[in-house]
Amino acid sequence: LACICFAAGNSRQECGQSAISIYTVASMREAASAGALTKELKPQFYSSRGPGTLFPWHPTVSCPTYGIMPWGSGYRDFGDQGGATSSCGPHLAGALAILKTAFPDRKNSDLRSAIRGGADNGILGRPGIFYDPYVGSGLLRIDRSLQEMRHPGPKSLFFKAAERMPF
């Protein structure tokens, strides 16, 4: 079973700071999407925001986009400027691959729930919030996501149930 992963997109500036800007495949229920963070772990000005147009809880998580990042078939040094959400996709894809390798019999919805459940949602100074339209469930933390696969917490369980809700 393949895991579906997308960059959230870079449309926030074009659509306006408050506009929903995660569309089509990046907002599918079956997909995981990555938003972009600055070096200070704040939402990048260009990173598309949720909720998603097809499934509301996108972006799934957010990742930093500064320094030397995956880009195309190689790497590029973005310094402190950020490398767009395309450089976040490999972080999220790698985390999903680690989870799928460690738990090959688990469903993709379990992997997405663990990614969300393990995310650091305190980066906006609001711990305890399960979702934010700018950063999703928070900063991607694979160490905590692995723990969530073994022992799901309330956030993972919430998103597991939410994936079954009709939208």
Per-residue pLDDT of the chain (167 residues; tens, 9 = 90+): 567 878 777 776 555 555 666 777 877 888 898 888 888 888 887 787 888 888 888 888 998 877 666 666 667 676 666 667 777 888 899 999 999 999 999 999 999 999 999 999 887 666 667 888 888 899 999 999 999 999 988 888 888 888 777 66
Contacts of residue 110, defined as CB under 8 A and 6 or more positions apart, other chains included, come to 103, 149, 160
What are the phi and psi torsion angles at 61 (to 5°)? Answer: -145, 180
pLDDT number for residue 149: 94
86 C-beta neighbours (distance < 10 Å), count: 19
Cis ω for the linkage preceding 70 (within 30 of 0):
no
